[in-house]
Structure 1
C-alpha cells in the first residue's frame, strides 16, 4: 500500500514538472506565478484600504514628483508621449499590430492569448477601479486632468500584460539563457517606464502601479497558462483519436 501510494505521488510530481505533459511544467509555473501575484495584489490592496504607511509614502512621493515635474521639459514631454502611447487607443493599436505580427510569423495560436490578455485585462482593470474607487492624486496645477479612479493603474496593467506576453513568446523561441534574460529585462524596463510616466505626471500613486503590475502578472498567467493547457489537451485528443483510428485499420 505504502509503495503504491509513494509510486503514485512520484508519478504525479514528475508529471507536474514535465515539459511534455498536458498538465505539466507550464501549468505548475503558471499556478505559482498566479498565486504569488494574487498575494502581492491582495497585500497592496489591503494596505491601501486600511490606510497603512504605504499610503503616506504614496502622497509624499506624488507631491515630490509634482514639485519637480517641470524641471526638465524634455523629460516631461518624453514621458507624456510614453503615457499617451499606452493609453486605451494606443494599447488597442499595439495589440492589433502584435496580432498581425503573430499572424505573419505563423504563430496564430498566440493571437487568442493576446486578445484575452490585453483587452481582457483592460476590462478587468476597469472593474477593479470601480471596486476600490480610489481618488487620483490631487494638485492645484495638475499636468493631467483625469476624472476616473486611480487604483489600480490601467496603463501599468496594460503594459505588464502586453510586454509580458511578448516576452513569453520571444523568450520561448530565443536560444540561450542570456538572450532570454535580456528579453525579460527589456520587458521589465518597458513596464517600469510606463509606470514611471504615470507617477511623474501625477496620474497615479506608487501603490496604484505596483498593484497593477501584480494584477497584470496574475491575469497574464491565467491567459498564457489557460490557452497553453487547452492547446495541449486538444493535441493529446487528436493524437489519441489518430491512434484509435490506426488500431481499427
Structure 2
C-alpha cells in the first residue's frame, strides 16, 4: 500500500520535469527560428533585408559621424564590453564556482562560453559576409560580419553569469533586475556595433539570438544531468542552473 501511494508522486514529479525540459527545448527552438531565418536570408542575399541593413547602417553612421565625442564613447564601451571581457568574467565565475565545490557548474559555464565563441567563428567562416563599407568610417573590425561576435558573446556571457548567480539573489525583484541588466548590456553592445558601422543590424540580431540559443541549450542539458543525478527539478531562468550553488 505504501509503495502504491509513492508511485503517483514519482509519476507526477517525472511529468513536471518532463514539462520543464520540453519547455526548455521549445524555447531553444523558438530562439533558433529568427537566427535560421536570418541565416537563410543573408546567404540568399535577400534584397529587402539588404536594403534595411544598409538604410539603418547609413542613418546610424551619419549620426555618430556628426558627434566625435559620441563616437569615442561608443568605441570605448564596445572595446570594454568585447568578447574577451565576457570570457574573462565567465572564467572568473567558473573558478569561484569550482572553489565553492560546484565543479559541474564551473565546467558548464566554461563549456558554454567556449562553444559560443567557436560556433560564432564557424558560422562566420561558412557565411563569409562582408562588413559595411561606409564613407568616413569611425571604426574598423577584422573578419567576416555574420553573426556579430560582440553581440553573441554579450548575450552568452551575461546569460551565463546570471544563471550562475541567481541562487544568491533571494528576491524576485533582484532576479528581474539581473535579467534586465543582462538584456540592457547585450542590447547596448549590439547597438554600438551597428552605430560604429562595423556590423549590419541583421548581424547583431543573429548574434544575440544564437547566443541565447547556445546558453539555453546547454542549460537544458545541465538540467538533464540533474535528473540523472536524482536531484529535484529546477527552473533555471528563476533559480539558476544549479540552485544549490553558493548557498552555503
Shorter-chain TM-score tier = 0.7 to 0.9
Q: Which moved more, 1:66-75 or 1:53-62?
A: 66-75
Match of residue 38 from structure 2: 44
Q: Does the 8 Å contact 2:139/2:196 carry over to 1?
A: yes
Q: CA RMSD in A?
A: 2.6
Match of residue 97 from structure 2: 102
CA shift digits 1:36-84 (9 cap, x unpaired):
1111211222222331422211101111111121333343223212221
Match of residue 77 from structure 1: 72
Match of residue 174 from structure 2: 179
Q: Cα–Cα, structure 1 residues 180 and 92, in superposed 2: closer, same or farther, change >3 Å?
A: closer
Q: Does the 8 Å contact 2:97/2:106 carry over to 1?
A: yes
- Once the 2 structures are TM-superposed, how far is the Cα of residue 104 of structure 1 from its aligned partner? 4.9
Q: Does the 8 Å contact 2:130/2:144 carry over to 1?
A: yes
Q: Does the 8 Å contact 2:71/2:138 carry over to 1?
A: no
Count of aligned positions:
224
CA distance in 2, matches of 1:217, 1:150: 19
CA distance in 1, matches of 2:105, 2:202: 31
Unpaired segments ≥5 residues, structure 1: 1-7, 237-249
Q: Cα–Cα, structure 1 residues 142 and 191, in superposed 2: closer, same or farther, change >3 Å?
A: same
Q: How does 1:78-227 map to 2 (within 5 A)?
A: 78-227=73-222
CA shift digits 1:100-133 (9 cap, x unpaired):
3334555433211111111221110010111111
Q: Cα–Cα, structure 1 residues 89 and 214, in superposed 2: closer, same or farther, change >3 Å?
A: closer
- Once the 2 structures are TM-superposed, how far is the Cα of residue 174 of structure 1 from its aligned partner? 2.6
Match of residue 224 from structure 2: 229
State the TM-score, normalized to the length of structure 1: 0.79
Q: Does the 8 Å contact 2:117/2:153 carry over to 1?
A: yes
Match of residue 31 from structure 1: 25
CA distance in 2, matches of 1:54, 1:170: 38
CA shift digits 1:119-153 (9 cap, x unpaired):
22111001011111110000232222333110100
Match of residue 61 from structure 2: 66
Question: Which ranges of 4 or more aligned residues in structure 1 deviate by more than 4 Å?
Answer: 11-14
Q: Cα–Cα, structure 1 residues 225 and 72, in superposed 2: closer, same or farther, change >3 Å?
A: same
CA distance in 1, matches of 2:148, 2:182: 18
Match of residue 245 from structure 1: none
State the TM-score, normalized to the length of structure 2: 0.80
SS in 1 for 2:229: helix
Unpaired segments ≥5 residues, structure 2: 1-7, 232-248
Q: Cα–Cα, structure 1 residues 55 and 103, in superposed 2: closer, same or farther, change >3 Å?
A: same
Q: Does the 8 Å contact 1:85/1:91 carry over to 2?
A: no
CA shift digits 1:154-173 (9 cap, x unpaired):
11111111101122233344
Q: Does the 8 Å contact 1:86/1:159 carry over to 2?
A: yes
Q: Cα–Cα, structure 1 residues 136 and 12, in superposed 2: closer, same or farther, change >3 Å?
A: farther
